[in-house]
Structure 1
Amino acid sequence: MASSTPPNIVVLMTDQQRAGCTAAEGGPDTMPRLDAQLAGGVRFERAYTSAPACVPARTSLLTGRFPSAHRVRQNSTAEHAYYSQDLLQMLRAAGYSLHFSGKPHMHPGPEDFDTFHGPFLHDGGPDRSGEHAAFDTWLRELDHAVAAEPTPFGVQSQLPSRIVDGAIEAIEAKQPDPYFLWVSIPEPHNPYQVPEPYFSLFDEADVPERLVGPEVLDRMGWRFRWLHRLIEDKRPGFDDQWRRYRANYLGMLRLIDDQIGRLLDHLEQRPGGLENTIVIFLSDHGDFTGDYGLQRKGAGVPEALMRIPLAIAGPDVQAQHRSELVSIVDLLPTLAEWIGAPLPAGVQGRSLTPLLRGEEAPPSEFATMYGEHGYGGVSYGEDDRPPLHFSYDGATFDELNSVTQSGEMRMVVDGRYKLVTDDTGEVALYDLSDDPAETHDLSTDPGHREVRERLLLQLVQWMLRVADDLPEGDYRPRTRAHNWRWA
């Protein structure tokens, strides 16, 4: 898709947005402005994150590599990312100016951008003065909980509004085209709060029913039960809030949509508008939103956490919905091919540019997808209670802890079936068509033996595929067009 006029690139990223929460994805009408903007592009109906945690997933976006290769497997190790050239360096070499506004959670810093508005995190942002300061204090005191009442501060203090303000300022002060603008919004990630009119926009009685509640925990892996017990000990009766939790979550998506709409309107009013602009919308990972009686994330690799929204619009993109299984790691090679940049060594993702043009995709390349989980070491067990980086006393907790994230876990999915295995030798198999909540393990069912063996082989193939080609030496690995190894 490379042309004589390099396209501008706008990445709109939310944090912890579960797939299926917009009307364009078959859910509630939460993001009408964004849905309309992307209607002329490609929506990937089966997109996955590389790992269900912020920094590992964002590092995958920036490097086109899975966590076992880029080596960032927890939120506290971003500076150790391992790669030959990341997305920002590739774009800089291609003549782009680089602009960021929002939540970083990544290895590049302010010095790597021409303009940087942040950092914004889940308890506030850099511009802490006046009402903004009071709102940020209120956010910290909410302690990542579900607010039972409307947020007592206006939209202008909300992080999406402040982040979009910074993005608009960056575009107004930026260098000439082409530019790369990354708008990284910390919501709808916890704390689950939203002001009016968004608080009342989705009635608790009308929110979509959850797939399953805590009644299924006895059929789930021990990590689900350990996390549920931890939260119940700290916040007894927390699951009684699940409808309010979902209503706040959906309301925040509408608030985000209004702010993204404000940015898109501003970009459209500039000379040339969005005619030569790639707009990418995605999230880093999903959210339980009450399924299994859980909040946030932090246990296993269920579809609720692994699937993400992903849509791309831009010049020469054909309006369509695609069913291929794709990943957050595919964005860097897609942009590399789009702008005609060399593919950096060690990239494991695949370019999606032929799919964006409406071309057929080889089933062998896109029929399965892979994901990772775990900090490494040896898995703990259900009855373990080791020291954590937070106290077992009090209401504060972190779902990304050394127990539920311990060991290694890998998954492969073929669209209908999903296989999960871990370092203890446990294997689970789910039929996502009949069991979307993944509560019925079919791995020992004789009738699914062939499926189990086939997916185990696919998992082995994926693990061979993500074996790292770095560091580079005298012998160069063979590559294929679009980085499609199985085409």
Structure 2
Amino acid sequence: MSSRPNILLLMTDQQRAGFTAGSGFGLDTMPCLDRIAARGASFERGYTSYPACVPARTSLLTGRFPTAHRVRQNSTAEHAYYSDDLLDVLRASGYSLHFAGKPHMHRTAEDFDTFHGPFMHENGPAASSIEAEFDRWLHGLDHGVAAEPTPYPLEAQLPYRIVSGALDALSTAGEDPFFLWVSFPEPHNPYQVPEPYFSLFAEADVPDRLAGPEAIPQLGWRYRWLHKLMAEKRPGYDEAWRRYRANYLGMLRLIDDQLERLLTGLGDRLDDTIVVFVSDHGDYVGEYGLQRKGAGMPDALMRIPFVISGPGVEAGRRQELVSLVDLLPTVCELVGADFPAGVQGRSLAPLLAGESGPAAEFGSLYAELGYGGVSYDEQDRPELHFPYEGSTYDELNSVTQSGGERMVVSRHHKLIVDDRGQRRLFDLRADPAELVDLSDDPAHQDVLDALQATLLRWLIRVADDLPVGAYVPKTTMHNWRWA
């Protein structure tokens, strides 16, 4: 690429992969995103590094896995450990830095030239009484599912307000290349949309889920604990799973319309802009009779939309296994910057140019879960950051996130190992709901052995190279260590 491109990072919160027509879904939820994907590289097997907001966003910014950057729960953003992150790299490369939306990261407003926020899932900066009233109404949903259309106009919705701020930022970007991060709090709960989005996807037309609550006994104790908590908090909640999913799909279309509005606002500058679209993690969207996230590492939570489009990017569907940690080194290579010390991700720049990703390098994928310590037991009821009584709850809590789990995917198999030594092996092609554990199946012993060896190799690979000492680690082109 002859000159430094602008970079537009579009990020949603809790968007599950495979929910657009372009990715094979039965309903047309995000036509604008599908057009972006068709013009660029669509990584069909993109994954988060960790199925929670702050750890995943810290991985995106630092190019490091959570055990290295040390942010393993949403409450520890300020403890991020790294040398230089994405903002440092782009600032040193002459970029102006702009942010609009939900932060949930270790960086603050002072680190950007313009900052429109912070927005969270229930509120944001309110410029009118209608916006303030909407935020109060949103808070009153208590992160639940709205049974009726939202009684406030589209202009009060957080994505609309965020894009308005992003467009204002573009008007001040100047001649230097810009980095604009637009971070939507949706389609994260609370699940609500105004008309016409509420009626756009009828409950009767919502595709069936892979598995309902009948699958809970087949899953691990963390799923059972979370399901029991939700049933105690909100009895009968799963009866509305189709409404929940219909609202979720309506939220996707609402976001998509705002993407179209933003790209239109870019005008001719879009020709010189790399557009990246990702989410921080997925959502059960009713799978297993669960809402939001919180337990386990199913693809419903781990797989994310992962699209890169723009000048120099060859269009095509890519099958390499890629991660949020790969974005920082990719941007470094695109703008001609060195990789910061301690970066663990791999540059995707050669893949964007149409090259094949080496199977040894991109044939497997690693991810993490758990804040440490010893895992609680299924019968435990320790103190939480919300009361056991009443309807309010948070799916990320001291029980379901306790201990540690590590995941590796290779070809169509996934292995998950936890701190108790429990292994779970799944065939993602034959069993997309991940209900049939094959770890004790003699016919899959060779697969298990190979995945365990791959996981061990990943665990060695993600050992932290920081702090920098007297001995200098050897580096490789694109940070492809196994090519």
TM range (shorter): over 0.9
CA distance in 1, matches of 2:106, 2:28: 34
Counterpart in the other structure of 1:458: 454
Counterpart in the other structure of 1:35: 34
Q: In percent, how many aligned pairs have the same letter?
A: 67
- Pairing 1:480–2:479 present: no
CA distance in 2, matches of 1:141, 1:276: 43
Runs of 4+ in 1 over 4 A off after TM superposition: none
For the aligned residues, what is the CA RMSD? 0.8
CA distance in 2, matches of 1:220, 1:264: 42
- Residue pairs, 1:118-267, within 5 angstroms: 118-127=117-126, 129-267=128-266
Counterpart of 2:351, as a letter, is L
Report the more deviating stretch, 222-231 or 20-29.
20-29
Give deviations 1:225-251, integer Å, cap 9, x for gaps. 100000100100000010000000000
Give deviations 1:187-225, integer Å, cap 9, x for gaps. 000000000000000000111110000101111000001
Give deviations 1:85-121, integer Å, cap 9, x for gaps. 0000100000000000000000000000000000000
Match of 1:311 among 303, 307, 310: 307
Give deviations 1:416-446, integer Å, cap 9, x for gaps. 1100011011011011111111111010111
Give deviations 1:286-312, integer Å, cap 9, x for gaps. 000000000000001000000000000
1:350, 1:482 within 8 Å by CA — same for their partners in 2?
A: yes
Counterpart in the other structure of 1:349: 345
CA distance in 2, matches of 1:163, 1:128: 12
- Pairing 1:15–2:13 present: yes
Match of 1:330 among 315, 326, 351: 326
Counterpart in the other structure of 1:370: 366
Q: Give the deviation of 1:128 after TM superposition.
A: 5.6
Q: Give the deviation of 1:41 after TM superposition.
A: 0.5
Counterpart in the other structure of 2:110: 111
Q: Give the deviation of 1:389 after TM superposition.
A: 0.9
Q: Give the deviation of 1:38 after TM superposition.
A: 3.1
Counterpart in the other structure of 2:388: 392
CA distance in 2, matches of 1:57, 1:24: 25
Q: Secondary structure at the match of 2:199?
A: coil
Match of 1:409 among 405, 410, 415: 405
CA distance in 1, matches of 2:461, 2:28: 39
Give deviations 1:270-291, integer Å, cap 9, x for gaps. xx43111100001000000000
CA distance in 1, matches of 2:285, 2:33: 22
1:60, 1:66 within 8 Å by CA — same for their partners in 2?
A: yes
Q: Give the deviation of 1:174 after TM superposition.
A: 2.2
Give deviations 1:393-420, integer Å, cap 9, x for gaps. 0000010000000001000011311000
Count of equivalent residues: 482
CA distance in 2, matches of 1:313, 1:142: 36
Counterpart in the other structure of 1:24: 22
Counterpart of 2:299, as a letter, is E
Match of 1:380 among 356, 361, 376: 376
Counterpart of 2:479, as a letter, is N
Q: Secondary structure at the match of 2:345?
A: coil
CA distance in 2, matches of 1:80, 1:415: 35
Counterpart of 1:22, as a letter, is T
Counterpart in the other structure of 2:98: 99
Counterpart of 1:368, as a letter, is S
Q: Secondary structure at the match of 1:39?
A: helix
- Pairing 1:88–2:90 present: no
Give deviations 1:317-345, integer Å, cap 9, x for gaps. 11100001000000000010011001100
CA distance in 2, matches of 1:321, 1:438: 24
Counterpart of 2:375, as a letter, is S
Counterpart of 2:48, as a letter, is T
CA distance in 1, matches of 2:384, 2:133: 30
Q: Give the deviation of 1:36 after TM superposition.
A: 1.4
CA distance in 2, matches of 1:109, 1:263: 23
Q: TM-score, normalised by structure 1?
A: 0.98
CA distance in 2, matches of 1:174, 1:478: 38
CA distance in 2, matches of 1:185, 1:69: 26
Give deviations 1:343-364, integer Å, cap 9, x for gaps. 1000000000111111111100
1:128, 1:136 within 8 Å by CA — same for their partners in 2?
A: no
CA distance in 1, matches of 2:28, 2:319: 22
Counterpart in the other structure of 1:280: 276
Counterpart of 2:4, as a letter, is P
1:7, 1:339 within 8 Å by CA — same for their partners in 2?
A: yes
